[in-house]
Amino acid sequence: MIHLDFQVATDEVDEADLPTYEQCLEWVDAALLEDWGMGETELTIRLVDQDEIQQLNRDYRGKDKPTNVLSFPFENPPGLVDLGEELPYLGDLVISAAVVEAEAAEQNKPILAHWAHMIVHGCLHLQGMDHLDDDEANEMEALEIEILNGLGFDSPYEKA
């Protein structure tokens, strides 16, 4: 079971262009790999203004500019792990609604498809995947395409 804390902390875009709680839950469920897809899982998705994501991007990644999605994987406190207990918390996704909207328009993609991609992409990061080199990027992109196709969306990497 997925426990999703869904936070809307932006007024920069039309509310009709934001995904619903139910849509986010479906996309998260599709993106959970085997280890996380079993049992209980908790995560937060926070939709924010550009100022908030720029500050987080600057503070945590050293990049003083807005970005589309930031992933903050949760690390269980060593004391709990030592006791044989682990919290089922996957982590936090912070997504800039205005950046997602602008990217979808620039790339001529349906806004909903781009939202699904950002959530799937972020969830894969929370589970340890990355795209720092070509092999990792190819693996992650192939998995994103597979997941998004399963959700009824086209590949996010093909030009529209």
Binding site as annotated, residues for Zn(2+) = 121, 125, 131
**Identity of the residue numbered 77:** P
- Residue 94 pairs in a beta bridge with 46, 70
Binding site as annotated, residues = 121, 125, 131
Give backbone dihedrals phi and psi of 155, rounded to 5 degrees, phi first.
-60, 130
d(CA 36, CA 92): 14
Q: How many Cβ atoms are within 10 Å of 85's Cβ, its own excluded? A: 10
In 41-86, where do the E strands start and end?
A: 41-48, 69-73
